[in-house]
Amino acid sequence: MDFQLDIPTLLYLFIFGNLFIALLITFYRYHFTKDIASGTFIAAKWLQVAYWCSMLLWDVLPRWIAIPFSNGLVLISYGLEIAALLLMMGMLGRKDKLYFLCIAAGSILCYLIVAVFFNQPNFRVATASFWAMLFVIYPAFRLTRRREGSPLQKLLGTVFYLIAAAMLGRAVAALFLEPDMAALSPDTAQYPYLIGMFFMMVMGTAAFVLLSNEHSYERLKRMATYDTLTAILSRRAFFMEAEVKLALAVQKGEPYTLLLMDIDHFKNVNDTYGHDQGDKVLQGFALTVEAILGNGDLFGRVGGEEFAVMLYGLDEEASTLKAEQLREAVVAASQINPPCEYTVSIGIITVMPDQWTSLSMLYKLCDRALYQAKQNGRNRVVRSA
């Protein structure tokens, strides 16, 4: 017994399936902060509902109106869905937007040429399928080739490849295997296409929800790891990383240096020039210090105007030179950006750590050295005895 597709049933399945998903996503994001990616995705889902509903009008409206209208809706809606997913992952740059604009313009122009000069159902099917394949294959390539991409993103890229393959197979079948194929004809070659559309409906929604949660998690993780003003490690993150480095230094028998740095008379900067200028001082200070530190060093903000640096593998002489270099660089940088000239006091300790060395003890000793630098007139480096 041959299996035949029940096209009207499938059509209603896609209509109600997309309608349910559109309502679900709309209410899911209703109480969240509105963002461009979510708004774009929700708009795409409602356009997909409109696309599948428009196919019911093919026997009501003239075909020369209904068919181009439906094809325009499907290309726009799925293009917006893909753009929303890329936007959520921070992958929709200028070149990406240009690619999609070119594909959209090319698909419209090509379809108009086919409709005017080669207005046969299989040519229309092949044209729409080919350009839809170009829409899908680009994000598949970007997601699977992205080095920093998560397993979820790579899986999504693989699914996009499969959908692109189904689209290309449908285009080839319409041109060479099924010359009588139409958009809603129950041909065997339609199976992969309809399965692909089903996966786009389900997988796209699941990907949106999962990537949204992944994005929120990464944003919260970054907020917990980095100081929002200076973009360097927060206090908690610095000490967690410093503990790891300390254990590594014990294991390898290498020197370990901790610096505490405090901007001198920072309260006067805020009182005289305002907190906005004070924030700029903190940001400029962080940029100056970061430019001098090496890749293996750590730098964090541990208080209002207090910062900590961990230097790995430098002995007392080398770490002292590095601390002086930092102090001189801060003074020089502050003179370049008037009116806020400022200096920094630094407490420093270097040890050959063992299994009994604790970061909390090093911090206390370093803090005493910093206090001594303040007492001795500021703008100096004092090493813990």
Say if residues 314 and 255 touch (Cβ distance below 8 Å): yes
- Residue 137, class by beta-carbon neighbours within 10 Å (0-12 exposed, 13-18 middle, 19+ buried)? middle
Query: Smallest Cα–Cα separation from 214: which of 32, 88, 44, 34?
Result: 88
| Span 7-224 CATH architecture | Up-down Bundle (1.20)
Look up the pTM and report it.
0.57
State CA 33 to chain mean position distance.
Answer: 17
| Span 235-383 CATH architecture | 2-Layer Sandwich (3.30)
* Within this chain, domains 7-224 and 235-383 share the same CATH topology: no
The DSSP symbol for 311 reads: E
pLDDT (tens, 9 = 90+) of the chain, 385 residues, equals 455 556 677 778 888 888 888 888 888 777 666 678 888 888 888 998 888 888 888 777 776 777 778 877 877 888 888 888 888 777 788 888 888 888 888 888 887 888 778 778 888 888 888 888 888 888 888 888 877 777 877 888 888 888 888 888 888 888 888 877 766 676 666 667 777 777 777 777 777 777 777 767 667 667 778 888 998 999 999 999 999 999 999 999 999 999 999 999 998 888 888 888 889 899 999 999 999 998 889 999 998 899 999 998 999 999 999 999 999 999 998 888 766 789 999 999 999 999 899 999 999 999 999 999 999 999 999 999 7
Neighbours of 115 (CB within 10 A): 18
Angle (nearest 5°) at CA 348 between 344 and 350: 155
Domain segments of the chain as ranges: 7-224, 235-383
CA dist 249 and 39 (Å) reads 49
Conformational region of residue 379, where left means phi above 0, alpha means psi within -120 to 50, and beta covers everything else: left
According to DSSP H, which parts of the chain are helical? 7-28, 36-54, 63-88, 94-117, 121-145, 151-172, 190-225, 235-252, 266-273, 275-292, 316-336, 359-375
Q: 252 phi and psi, to 5 degrees?
A: -95, -5
- Is the previous residue joined to 68 through a cis bond, with omega within 30 degrees of 0? no
State pLDDT tens for residues 3-36.
555 667 777 888 888 888 888 888 877 766 667 8
